[in-house]
Structure 1
Amino acid sequence: MFDYLKRTCRKHFGKDREFYAVVHNLLGITPDNIDLYKLALIHRSASVMLPDGNPANNERLEFLGDAVLETIVSDFLFIEYPEQTEGFLTQMRSRIVSRASLDDISSRMGIDKYIVANFNGTYSHKHLNGNAFEALVGAVYLDKGYDFANRFVINGVLRRYVDLSDITTTEVDFKSRLIEWCQKSKRSIHFNTASDEESTMRNPRFLSKIIIDGIELGHGTGSSKKEAEQKAAWAVTQIVGNDDIGDFFMDTIDMSFERYTSGDGKVN
């Protein structure tokens, strides 16, 4: 299988020595298993069909890289901000690994120039660059191990392409953005916020549920109503991939209606 994949990949990338230079220029590392990095740059629209009929592309590496990246960023923020709350760390991580952020990082690194894709109207190219970046993180992890991947992400990516001071000083009002989107889309939105069952006088806790067009799409908890509602709004934005509120959000709501109603607005 790997010999077949190697031969097919060479059709895209030429001689291995040339691609070694590409990886070194992009990531600053010398691969041990060059085929992982080739695979990381193959979008599913240009999938390599293996002899067993299964397609080979970067989706599995993207899945792995997403998890590795989130772990490394979480660890980094935990150490970088020892006095900050869980809510602060969660929002910081969300902004760093958001689709828009990863797309930008990938473009600035020059990864977009080497992605192999074949768009014919069937596949979406949205977040193509960020997905390839995650796949490359997955490749680094498999090729070099977690410690190496950790150093690569922190020193080669976060410290070079992420402005932490800008992220910390830019507050995102998820609730206002969500309300604005619903108004533009002519959809009703309601925040159902009340004291949580675990709330006490000394440790108040609030639970906020977001209802859009009669369907609960997310919830959040916090020590104040404002914090709970912001977390709930943030949770809803994650449905569409890290606060990218758009057409997919509408599709999600529509699918929720199909799941919970008979199509006439009445709950099953």
Structure 2
Amino acid sequence: MKDDKRREEQLRAFQLKLGYEFKNAELLTEALTHSSYANENNAAYNERLEFLGDAVLELVTSARLFAAYPGFSEGELTRLRARLVCKNSLSDWASDNGLKPLIRLGKSIKSPTDSMAADCVEAVFGAVFSDGGYEAARGVISRFLDTKGEAAAPVMEKDPKTELQELLQGEGKTAPVYKLIERRGPEHASSFKVALSAEGGLAAEAWGPSIKEAEFKAAKAALEKLRRS
């Protein structure tokens, strides 16, 4: 009885940190239940909510980064999103917000792994979406992203093509020229090689999964050459 009351208090404290109070408390319970506990107690567990939460997390994060980094290519946005929502990032948030002690585990598991904790975070996001809809989930996930510096206070960087062009034009030179020189792979998974040339003998080459990405990489390589010289 005492343990039940203590857990209720912990759940209330967690919801305060989450910034969302569940109308259907069973959804939160399900989100915090690992399959090992469910198998021993014939209970619902969190894998379906995790599936849903993963999708909502990706959407909210993608929209935020798309707005925050207008100069970033698809590849750069994808890599940044992956860092923000990786297993370690989610597990750290679970620790900081008191989620880990709330995870219901089977008797053979002493404590949740980082992977289990990350899965529970995604399941909680899915539970919020199920309980309160997209705007509620967006609010909770936004607060999670606020704890990640790259999403909370992004550095508004110029893309490398723009930076290189402005640098050259500032020296009275013409804009660099990009030329596709090679393509490899099937239609659905091609790689592209782009060559960059500019006044003063500046040249660089780079591969990318798209022509645009290859151009960005070539511009970055050219910028590095200029900085070294």
| Contact 1:43–1:58 (8 Å) recurs in 2 | yes
Given that residues 20 and 30 in structure 1 are in contact (C-alpha distance below 8 angstroms), is that contact kept between their aligned partners in structure 2?
no
Distance 1:120 1:15, change over 3 A: closer
Aligned to 1:92: 80
**Counterpart secondary structure, 2:105:** coil
Q: TM-score, normalised by structure 1?
A: 0.54
The equivalent residue for 2:38 is 47
1:157 matched residue in structure 2: 144
**Distance in 2 between residues matched to 1:31 and 1:204, nearest whole Å:** 57
Matched positions, count: 175
Relative to structure 1, is the Cα distance of residues 28 and 151 closer, same or farther in structure 2, using a 3 angstrom cutoff? closer
Q: Distance in 2 between matches of 1:149 and 1:75?
A: 13
The 2-side partners of 1:16 and 1:109 are apart by 15
Residues 115-155 of structure 1: per-residue CA shift (max 9 Å, x gap): 1112527xx8451111110000001101111012112211x
Call closer, same or farther: CA 1:43–1:205 in 2, change over 3 Å.
Answer: farther
Task: Indicate the SS of the match to 2:106.
Answer: coil
Shift of residue 113, structure 1, vs aligned partner:
1.8
Matches within 5 A, 1:14-93: 14=5, 18=9, 21-47=12-38, 55-93=43-81
2:31 touches 2:45 (CA, 8 Å); kept in 1? yes
| Contact persistence 1:44–1:58 (CA under 8 A) | yes
CA RMSD in angstroms comes to 3.7
| Match runs of 1:137-156 below 5 Å | 137-154=125-142, 156=143
Shift in Å at residue 205 of structure 1? Answer: 6.6
Change (3 A) 1:125 1:99: same
Which of the pair has more CA radius of gyration? 2
Structure 1 CA distance, aligned partners of 2:44 and 2:122? Answer: 16
Instruction: State the SS of the aligned residue for 2:104.
Output: coil
Instruction: Indicate conservation of the 8 Å contact 1:49/1:56, yes or no.
Output: no
State, as a whole percentage, how many aligned pairs show the same letter. Answer: 30
Q: Give the Cα separation in 2 of the matches to 1:85 and 1:12.
A: 51
Are 2:92 and 1:104 equivalent residues in the alignment?
A: yes
Q: Are the structure 2 counterparts of residues 208 and 166 from structure 1 closer, same or farther at C-alpha, using a change threshold of 3 Å?
A: farther
**Higher helix proportion (structure 1 or 2):** 2
CA shift, 1:107, in A, is 1.4
Q: Which consecutive segments of 4 or more residues in structure 1 shift more than 2 A?
A: 10-20, 22-26, 165-169, 201-209, 219-228
SS of residue matched to 2:23: coil
Q: Unaligned stretches of 5+ in structure 2?
A: 156-177, 195-205, 214-229
